[in-house]
Chain A
């Protein structure tokens, strides 16, 4: 103890503790910063949209006259597009996850697919837009219809769904499938009747979160070429369409020309955020209600 100067230590201790407390509050404020911005953002959007969301806005057709404009076409477009995205990503995503987790031999090939998936997750969404434009819209001659947009967004969120499904399958404990094999079930019977049902809540939670990402995605749709024109309501996946985020985009761009368009954009944002909120709540509900702990 003779090497420690007690007086010196106690003299320094005060500033050291003060520094600790000062920076602690700074760190806390940094954490709050994001939340404050979030509050401002939501407040601004809601204030701008007050008085603009009514029955006519929700069910009406697009119009250049701000007072008469409605977003039913965009809502339907988003709805139809999700009707393409949901089954495609679920089937491909779960299928790929089952293959990688339960069938593929651990080796170079499996490693390549796995690396490839994590690389795909990092590709900017606009590059997927170019892929969609080149393959679906031009090469397959679909044109800018709902199916083309839906398939493009499916490819975009596929890596997210695969990774979520892989984690859910991995979380199913081995004794369940061993019990199934012990009863004489085949591999596919075990997967179908034991592993998938146990993993389903986790898979669905991930898939819903991925779907809400697809709903808000704008960049790929701008590349595919969604017209800013007023088009009839889409009635199926082969119709031309517009979608909620595209409508926000066009109205925000034109708000420097017509000030009321900013209100329309804000009102559409409120609708979009509410939709995402409902979806996210559903995901959290499924996770809490059906997730089994083993």
Chain B
């Protein structure tokens, strides 16, 4: 009993010391607890500042540009001659080049990507899918500059040997290669959409005697339509913003034309050309950089918002 109370006394001292010690360290850790959230909040704010920075720089310099070139002339002009004595700044040739190259890309990526998605989601066994999907994703990981090299040194010569009218720099070849680059994106997003259609619905159709194909087209795809459309819209947005492939393989002709065998410039390629040419700050060419970038930014932003709207609004819930 005596030994026991001695032990208790020892403990009492220990606990008192521990509490004292804890009080001291607590004040430090309490400060940390207060500071950390504030610091992390400041980190999180940087992403907002990035957006504000993008919008502000584009907006202020674009406004400066429109003081020199009327906004109407910019958006309706079909002549773009930034370097000439009497420069003209019509953005339509660039928008035209951007839309045509994106259209070619989607003509390649849309059907092939969707068919690949159908195969992976509806036909492939788990084992086959586990092999094919990561391999397809390698395509998405290859830097765009490598695709540019591929378009310029391989695809263009191949096209020209089949169709001699095609020029050395043309919009067709980078359009096709851009499509190949986008295939994994559409395949992967559409596959996700189709895989999330519950099996019970699929089994219902199959049980009624439908073939896999009929089940896919009449049951699975309608149910996954919002996701499929969203993947297409994101693909278009990606094509609009793609830079290096078109810069390398499509040249810098600013003609307003619909002839896909010719060189055309996209908005992105124009930005590379003008900024790479060290346009002196304060010149109208320099400001045109921002006006074109602003147009590009709005285009892709609208596409991304549209994709999100489609996938939210028309999603089938099960």
Contact = CB atoms under 8 A, between A and B. Distances in A.
Q: Do A and B bind each other?
A: yes
Contacts of B237: 122
B275 A223 contact: yes
Contacts of B19: none
Contacts of A91: 43
Contacts of B180: 34, 37
Contacts of B112: 30, 33-34
B115 interface: yes
A276 B248 contact: no
Contacts of A118: 308
B153 A48 contact: yes
Q: Is the interface of A mostly helix, strand, loop or mixed?
A: helix
Nearest to A29: B115
B47 interface: yes
Interface residues of B, number: 83
A166 to B, nearest CB: 11
Contacts of A28: 119, 123
Band of interface residues on A: 35 or more
Contacts of A162: 47
Given A41-B150, A129-B275, A96 B47 contact: yes
A68 interface: no
Nearest to A279: B141
Interface string B275-307: 110100100000001100100110011011100
B47 A276 contact: no
B44 A269 contact: no
Contacts of A129: 271, 275
Most chain A CB atoms below 10 A, which of B44, B116, B211: B44
Contacts of A17: 211
A24 B123 contact: yes
A262 B149 CA distance: 8
Interface string A161-198: 01000000000000000000000001111000000000
Interface in B156-200: 168, 180, 183-184, 187
A252 interface: yes
A272 B41 contact: no
B243 A131 contact: no
A81 to B, nearest CB: 14
B301 A119 contact: yes
Contacts of B145: 216, 218, 245, 248-249, 252
A116 interface: yes
Contact of A35 (B44, B136, B300): B136
A34 B47 contact: no
A19 B211 contact: yes
Contacts of A236: none
A222 B112 CA distance: 32
A147 B242 CA distance: 25
A69 B266 CA distance: 32
Nearest to B52: A116
B204 interface: no
Return the 7 tightest CB-CB contacts between A and B, nearest first.
Answer: A216-B143, A124-B241, A95-B43, A30-B115, A27-B119, A99-B40, A219-B243
Given A45-B149, A188-B33, 13 more contacts: A16-B214, A24-B213, A31-B119, A35-B132, A113-B47, A116-B47, A124-B243, A131-B50, A138-B281, A252-B148, A252-B149, A252-B248, A272-B146
